Amino acid sequence: MTTSDPASEATGTTSPKGASKTAPKKARKPKAKRAAGKSVKAGKSVRKTAPKAKSTLQGDLASNAVKKPAGKKKAAGSKRPAQTASKGAAARKPARKKVARKPAGRTPAASTKAALPVSPLAPARFPEVADVPGVRMATARAQIKYKTREDMLVVAMPAGTTVAGALTRSRTASAPVEWCRANLSSGEGRVLVSTSGNSNAFTGKAGVETVKLTAAAAAKLAAVRQKDVFIASTGVIGEPMPNEKILETLPKAFDALGQGTFEEAARAIMTTDTFPKASSRVVEIDGSPVVITGIAKGSGMIAPDLATMLSYVFTNASISQSALAALMDLNLRDSFNAITVDSDTSTSDTVLLFATGRDADGNKAPYGQITRPGDPRLRAFRAALAEVMQDLAKQVVRDGEGASKFITVKVTGGESHNSARRIAMAIANSPLVKTAIAGEDANWGRVVMAVGKAGEPAERDKLAISFGGVTVAKAGQAVDGYYETPVAQHLKGQDILIEVDVGVGNGEATVYTCDLTHGYISINADYRS
């Protein structure tokens, strides 16, 4: 259980299927017995993206408005009959077996592995998002691990763009994390390079060299300082990065700047994620339209310790670096630091917030640069930023590896907020609680256990527990005449609420987690294959 102080070190100045199946025998399968109801769309790769927001930024953006399905891409290798055909079929095409398909040094099955089924908690469609003035992006295919999809994201921003960040406190942080930590003090962010498939963590001097080479190449292509380049990587730990592939792909990505969309960007940073994650809001500062749009990736190895995945949030607001860092600090506690999937903190956790300070025509914001986070002009902006960050954090939990239920744990009556938060995390991280929810078992005794193991002040004889608003225990014991049916009905749903009052003080905290199913084991047992 992570018990770190939720206060951020995120100031900018002290930065802290594809299983092979025998081919169906058409002769034995009459047309009349085709499987009914199978969706043709389910296997299609969604390449069309929502239209970009017009430069006028007209209209309010609904918080989770939808434009199109976030459909799954086809399982890699699904177009290769030789990989899915029966032995008899393969015998009829021996020539196919002689073709070398894998580049030297590649890990096996990277391109033939089945796509994971989309989480049942995923939104029906990719959300409607607005483009951010001053932000140009592109995705490219470097084939670091994934052969059949884009795995590199490059974002370029204009001079004067301020940046704030939150980085993992892990003692085995990756080389890209350490690079970002050093660069946050510059206060300016001009380029972001993010890759997936390999975390470049625990790679020693070779990992540091990869980051330096990437930063130097990106800085040259963008004509900016290396300290204005931010780098992030996610994926397998302990494997050297293919520098030559990164350096060969970067120029292609820079040539395509401005052509990428937020959906493509969100997909490019995915690893075991089953759907791309994004959120967007449009507000005004002094009458000028301001966009906040962010993307995130995360599914497993998720536990609060500063930042618990990769997330990039962009805005065209004109805000000083110090004010931007303060705003990030204010919102981390109830967003990225309030989620857990499996209690494991990644080596690569990175949250970056960029503010371009440009209007839709590329000019500097007419209201000048805001330097105080408490400036009244930022009231709507502060609320919108909080919504975007919390929305992204919750989407990460909804994509928890193997998750079938989204769980909100609310603790009241704590000695302090931090005490209540540690109790809530003890409940949210308990394998016994999480498996009980997965099994739709109203076993509130497991919640009692989790409260007790947290090591925080709690009054046993005042303890109260409820599921879905139904009180099951009060004054330290089961409620007289407790009727389990409504609780059992609540647990059959996808959104579960557990509320606990520990009877000590006024501290309260809310955290978000998911259940623990067989799917989590399957995904992680097969992660590197």
Residue 21 vs residues 18, 159, 160: alpha-carbon distances, Å: 8, 54, 55
- Are 156 and 228 in contact, with CB atoms under 8 Å apart? no
Q: How far apart are CA 409 and CA 428, in angstroms?
A: 7
Residue 75, both tokens: 């399982």
Type of residue found at 34:
R
Residue 485, both tokens: 């049916």
Q: How far apart are CA 417 and CA 469, in angstroms?
A: 22
- Are 176 and 350 in contact, with CB atoms under 8 Å apart? yes
Radius of gyration of the chain (CA): 24
SS3 assignment, position 513 = strand
- Are 365 and 318 in contact, with CB atoms under 8 Å apart? yes
Angle at 408 between CA 454 and CA 328, to 5 degrees: 85
* Phi, psi (rounded to 5 degrees) for 385: -65, -40
Nearest CA to 370 out of 294, 319, 431 is that of 319
Nearest CA to 373 out of 388, 355, 358, 387 is that of 355
Nearest CA to 183 out of 217, 232, 138, 222 is that of 232
* Backbone φ/ψ region at 266: left (φ over 0), alpha (ψ -120 to 50), beta: alpha
Nearest CA to 437 out of 339, 326, 358, 513 is that of 513
- Are 90 and 81 in contact, with CB atoms under 8 Å apart? no
One-character DSSP codes across 176-194: HHHHHHHHGGG-B--EEEE
HEC-encoded secondary structure of 242-263 = CHHHHHHHHHHHHHCCCCCCHH
Q: In 133-228, where do the E strands start and end? A: 136-140, 152-156, 162-167, 191-198
Active site residue 308: yes
Residue 170, both tokens: 């892990």
DSSP conformation class of 81: H
Catalytic one of 308, 350, 408, 412: 308
- Are 134 and 356 in contact, with CB atoms under 8 Å apart? yes
CA 342 remoteness from chain centre: 14
Strands 310-315 and 350-355: parallel
Catalytic (active-site) positions: 308
